Amino acid sequence: MKYLKAYESVNENVPQVGDYVICHEKTPYNDQINPFLYVNIGEITEDRGLEYTYPYKIDFDNNKYPFAFLDLHYFGRDEVIFSSPNKEDLEPIINRRLATKKYNMR
């Protein structure tokens, strides 16, 4: 059984370009976006700086998202739930969410 790594390895405060993140859309334009974001890890490809409300451009693995909206969308600091420089640190969180979803425990 896999175990969750130390809390210090997952940063919740200040994500950087190149960090892997788990997001949540505060105001989704349809009800399919948050379930997609709930179980996918993205990578920050652009940070526009502190003067923007939504500074982070996030690219998801293999462009497997079915929404053209996410290709042009920027996320805010409050929409980034978890961030880490290592993708492996976030995979146990996603695996737990997938197991929860599989057994309808959500």
DSSP, residue by residue, 31-91: TTHHHHHHT--EEEEEE--TT-SS-EEEEEGGG--S-HHHHH-EE-GGGEEEEES-HHHHH
In whole numbers, what is the pLDDT of the chain averaged over residues?
A: 79
Q: What is the share, in percent, of the chain residues with pLDDT greater than 70?
A: 75
pLDDT digit string, tens, across residues 14-66: 888 999 999 988 887 778 788 888 888 999 999 998 888 889 998 887 556 66
76-85: average pLDDT: 91
| Whether pTM exceeds 0.85 | no
